[in-house]
Structure 1
Amino acid sequence: MVTLRSKSGNLDARVFDYFDVVASIGIGGVFAIMLFATHNVSHLLFHAPPSHLMGGGSGETTTKTKAMERVMKEAFEDRLMLMPCNTVKPVLIPCYDLQSSASLIFSRADDLESKNFNF
């Protein structure tokens, strides 16, 4: 975020200011919602040093896993904050039903339109 803000000259810049839609699968879908959330929860991802969250050797895995668990627990404290309907722009999260193998997409549009899609 610091780089984005310094390069753009906008001290209030957020990732969603530069993208119209985001799509991701798995945990990336959760990160996408965090980056596009109406409540600023993206700070949870960016306040932890990158070395504590990504990459590295096997000796660092436990430390990185604990750091990521802490970030995710804090983000999920208010589960309503991490719903597609609570994003400022469209979010698409493709997945499939494990029982029927039917594909589906969690999206902001469906979530806003019907509470049946409120996952």
Structure 2
Amino acid sequence: YPPVIYLNEQSKHLIDLVHAYNHMDGNQIMKVAYTFDAGPNPFCFIRQEHVDEFLSLLKYFYPTMNDDVHKQVSNIDKKFPSINLSIMPNVLERIVLTKIGTGPKIIS
């Protein structure tokens, strides 16, 4: 004791951003969920139909000079400025976009 807390300010900002995004349209549909590894690194789980919009949200709130981070996102949705959170430039190092696979396979 005391407990070790690995979340940093950027981690807490992403938590707030996900909650704001999920409630942005006034509905209770969960579009994005999050978890963290043993440190401050978030993992977001996104419904397929919301991937492009959520990537645009990340681009808006976490602008960066690293083009590799945002190469999949070309447009920014105009409703994002209504989310009352600060913009945090250059805190996002990478985005890894994956999909659920076909399940376990037996390798002979």
TM-score using structure 1 length: 0.23
Richer in helix (by share): 1
TM-score using structure 2 length: 0.24
More relative contact order in 1 or in 2 (CA 8 Å, sep 6+)? 1
